[in-house]
Amino acid sequence: MDSLKKLIRSEGLNLGNGILKVDSILNHQIHPRLMREMGEAMAAHFSGVRIDRILTAEISGIGPALMTGMVLDVPVVYARKKKPITMAGPVFLETAPSHTKGGDVPLLVSAEFLHEGENVLIVDDFLATGKTLMALARICKSAKANLVGVSVVVEKSFENGREMMLNAGYTIPIHALVTIAHMANYPNGPITLADDEPIE
pTM for this model (two decimals)? 0.94
CA-CA distance, 70 to 78, in Å (whole number)? 15
Q: Going by C-beta distance under 8 Å and a sequence separation of 6 or more, which residues neighbour residue 134?
A: 96, 164, 165, 168, 170
Which pLDDT score is estimated for 102? 67
Paired strand residues for 53: 120
CA-CA distance, 111 to 90, in Å (whole number)? 6
For the domain spanning 2-193, the CATH number is 3.40.50.2020
**Residues 99-120: tens digit of each pLDDT:** 666 688 999 999 999 999 999 9
Which pLDDT score is estimated for 200? 44
**Residues 28-82: tens digit of each pLDDT:** 999 999 999 999 999 999 999 999 999 999 999 999 999 999 999 999 999 999 9
